[in-house]
Amino acid sequence: MSLSDKTKRWLNENCKISLKGKTVLVTGANSGVGFKMAEISAYLGADVILACRNKERAKEARLRLIGDHPEASISVMQLDLASLSSIEVFCEELVSSQVDIDAFVNNAGVFRQPGKKTADGFDLVIGTNYIGTYYLSERLLPYLSSLPHEVVYVNTISIIHKIATVDYADFYYEREKRYRAFPVYARSKLCLARYTYAQAKRYAGSNVRMMMNHPGMTITPMGLNAFGNGIGRLAGVVGPLINSPEKSALSLAYILSHEIPSGSIIGPNKGFGGWGYPEMNRIGQRVKEGAEELIRFTDIEIEKAKA
């Protein structure tokens, strides 16, 4: 389904930008918000790379995009954030091919995966959403910072990070008697927010602009897969308070068309960040603190997994 007229009007009025000649890479772009970020990028003229775990679904998404945007340049790469080896292969291919990236969007993520593990033994949600994205970022950012132009690096967090905690004694909630989907997901996104905020400081003065975005309350295939059709019926009841994937995807265009300081969070502007059009959000103290300990812990966890 192509972009709505309402979306096109909003883009024309609020994001006066052409991405012609630019390259935008979006992870997890075969569906949901990621697919719509890719479509908006194509609509604005960018060359788009879909980096997805399932390459066949990515190819199907590419055909859908080309069907609505026949002049767009859209390619596919394979990337599974639940596998350190897949991340290494992806990074090696990107760097060895000297792919010129203007915007890199880490959108891929998972939710509510009780008992499931990554290929390296991490809880699947924390291992994908945080550790996988961390590992990918650590390997790509040195290359991206060597490019002769600005690179916007966007990590997708969640509004639920505001109620998250980090407990290194039980980082993966393994001591819990029952699986707690929201706390696990919230922790993964708080960790990613802390890491991104710290990286913004690390790369201050460089060509890399580190950004965070969150989609607010959005019904996506990830949520439908986790909760079934019940969540879809709920959306029908509270529809005005929930963003469509297309509306949430506008955050990328907003980031690329505005001079927003590195380390900022962009998300919906209504309902305490729950829904609406994108704008800068306040960064809470829990995001600004604890990054050094978190990074040390993460490096140790990755080394243990690779040993």
Amino acid at 306: K
Place of tokens 């965070």: 212
Check if 185 is active-site: yes
Beta bridge partners of 151: 208
Residue 234 phi/psi, 5-degree rounding, is: -60, -40
Angle between helices 32-43 and 55-68 (to 10 degrees): 40
| 3 state DSSP class of 123 | strand
Distance CA 305, CA 300 (A): 9
Distance CA 67, CA 45 (A): 15
Catalytic residue among 130, 185, 195, 203: 185
When computed from its CA atoms, the radius of gyration of the chain, rounded to whole angstroms, is 18
Q: Which residues are catalytic?
A: 185
